[in-house]
Amino acid sequence: MSEPIKVFLADDQSLVRSGFRMLIEAEDDLVVVGEAADGDEAVRRVTAIKVDVVLMDIRMPIMDGVEATRRIISAGVGTKVLVLTTFDLDEYAFAALRAGASGFLLKDARPADLLNAIRNVNAGDAVMAPSTTRRLLDHVVPTLPAGPITPDPRLELLTDREREVLVEIAKGATNSEIAGTLYMAEGTVKTHIGRLLAKLQCRDRVGLVLFAFESGLVHA
């Protein structure tokens, strides 16, 4: 049996952390390895131990979740960050995605959705529903430079098929939707996504969406 996924809880509310801990540790494949009540403490503890996934609150004292996410990702310890927010249009949640988080989830999500989100993020997937992707792009597009965008040289590394898959990802399509649109097996879609992540040096699906727009491959 493989080792359980190591989860770290970063939230300034002790009751919230206690609730998440009870939920997570009831699962055989998940374990909580630490907690923090502010971003600074989270960074120090996460970078000192083996952590697979951090459940990161956004609004915390001393250091907020956005800066904590940025520092954890830049530390290169391989930890994934799943942002927790109260509002799905929270601008700080989008900032955390830009800082390297693998997705975000509402705090009132169903327990099963939270547990699956942890597993999906650990597996390298991004927790981003198509509607959420659209809202992400609404925040990203205004930040892009005006006028023509210089194509990113990494685009030359992609096959025509990989470009097609990347465009669909940028539209917010799921793997099954991409498979239907491009007439390929879902397993083949996953293979293409794996190659895209490697060639474009992106951490996850969120990174691919941002790359597609920032490189000029897709336009708003």
Phi, psi of 53 (to 5 degrees): -135, 130
pLDDT at 7: 93
Closest CA to 143 of 194, 178, 95: 95
Distant-in-sequence, close-in-space partners of 218: CB < 8 Å, separation ≥ 6:
166, 167, 170, 171, 212
Q: Is the pLDDT of residue 46 over 80?
A: yes
In a domain, 142, yes or no: no
In a domain, 136, yes or no: no
In a domain, 137, yes or no: no
Domain of residue 73, CATH code: 3.40.50.2300
Mark whether 85 and 165 lie in a shared domain: no
105-116, pLDDT tens digit by residue?
Answer: 777 778 888 888
Among 13-17, 30-34, 96-100, 122-126, the range scoring the smallest mean pLDDT is 122-126
Q: Is the pLDDT of residue 74 over 50?
A: yes
Distances, alpha carbon 140 to alpha carbons 55, 118, 144, 184, 204, in Å: 23, 25, 7, 30, 16
Q: Is the pLDDT of residue 41 over 60?
A: yes
Q: How far apart are CA 129 and CA 51, in angstroms?
A: 25
Q: What is the mean pLDDT of residues 40-52?
A: 90
pLDDT at 42: 92
- The long-range contacts involving 149-153, CB below 8 angstroms and separated by at least 24 positions, are 149/214, 149/215, 149/216, 150/216, 151/215, 151/216, 151/217, 152/211, 152/214, 152/215, 152/216
Q: How far apart are CA 54 and CA 33, in angstroms?
A: 10
pLDDT at 116: 85
Mean pLDDT over each residue of the chain, to the nearest integer: 81
Centre a 10 Å sphere on the Cβ of residue 187 and count the other Cβ atoms it contains: 10
Q: Which residues pair with 127 in a beta bridge?
A: 103
Mark whether 16 and 113 lie in a shared domain: yes
Give the H/E segment covering residue 70.
Answer: helix 65-74
Q: Which residues pair with 55 in a beta bridge?
A: 9, 82
The residue among 98 and 41 whose pLDDT is bigger is: 41
For residue 157, what is the DSSP state? G
pLDDT at 119: 87
Q: Are 79 and 52 in contact, with CB atoms under 8 Å apart?
A: yes
The residue among 77, 98, 127 that closes a domain is 127
Does the predicted TM-score (pTM) go above 0.85? no
Q: How far apart are CA 151 and CA 202, in angstroms?
A: 17
User: 196 lies in which domain range?
Assistant: 147-214
Distant-in-sequence, close-in-space partners of 66: CB < 8 Å, separation ≥ 6:
58, 92, 95, 96, 99
Mark whether 11 and 59 lie in a shared domain: yes
Q: What is the mean pLDDT of residues 29-40?
A: 91
172-207, pLDDT tens digit by residue?
Answer: 777 888 888 889 888 888 889 888 888 888 877 777
How sure is the predictor about 130, in pLDDT bands with cuts at 50, 70 and 90? Answer: very low
How sure is the predictor about 151, in pLDDT bands with cuts at 50, 70 and 90? Answer: low
Mark whether 82 and 177 lie in a shared domain: no
Q: Is the pLDDT of residue 140 over 60?
A: no
Report how many domains make up the chain: 2
SS3 state of residue 81: strand
Domain of residue 189, CATH code: 1.10.10.10
Distances, alpha carbon 57 to alpha carbons 17, 66, 105, in Å: 10, 9, 10
Angle at 90 between CA 15 and CA 32, to 5 degrees: 35
How sure is the predictor about 133, in pLDDT bands with cuts at 50, 70 and 90? Answer: low
Q: Is the pLDDT of residue 129 over 80?
A: no
